[in-house]
Amino acid sequence: MFRLTIHTAFAAAHNLINYQGDCENLHGHNWKVEVSITTDELDKAGLGIDFKILKKETNNLLKTLDHKYLNELAPFSEISPSSENIARYLYHELTKIFGSDKVKVEMVTVWESDFAAASYYE
């Protein structure tokens, strides 16, 4: 089995819902995103998936979040746009693109700072 991982980032504003503290106020982060996929097969070039493709599709998805107020976006209209919920959202959206018998999204990790991250996997 092979695991391939890319790192990318986006910037956005949010406020946490049902949270008592500073983070209930509007604020922003420069989120770092780590996406890992697994595969047990390699193509003719010896690749599980081209890193360029994985990063391109991930960045296309992140463009829908970048420099936005996350609370106003459909995926977070009913739930708090926490790092946990962002990671779950990205996992499910990337699974629609990369989920197959050969390739599986293993985990998505969203870092809201250099010292705090949330991961989602199934």
Please enumerate, by residue number, every residue annotated as part of a binding site for Zn(2+): 14, 27, 29
User: Where do runs of H (alpha helix) occur along the chain?
Assistant: 51-62, 83-98
Q: Which residues contact 8 (CB under 8 A, 6 or more apart)?
A: 32, 33, 35, 55, 58, 59, 62
Among the listed residues 23, 84, 92, 106, the single catalytic one is 23
Give the residue ranges of the annotated binding site.
Answer: 14, 27, 29
70 class by beta-carbon count within 10 Å (0-12 exposed, 13-18 middle, 19+ buried): buried
Known active-site residue 112: yes
Among the listed residues 7, 41, 67, 122, the single catalytic one is 67
- Tokens for 80? 């708090």
Known active-site residue 23: yes
Please give the positions annotated as active site.
Answer: 23, 67, 112
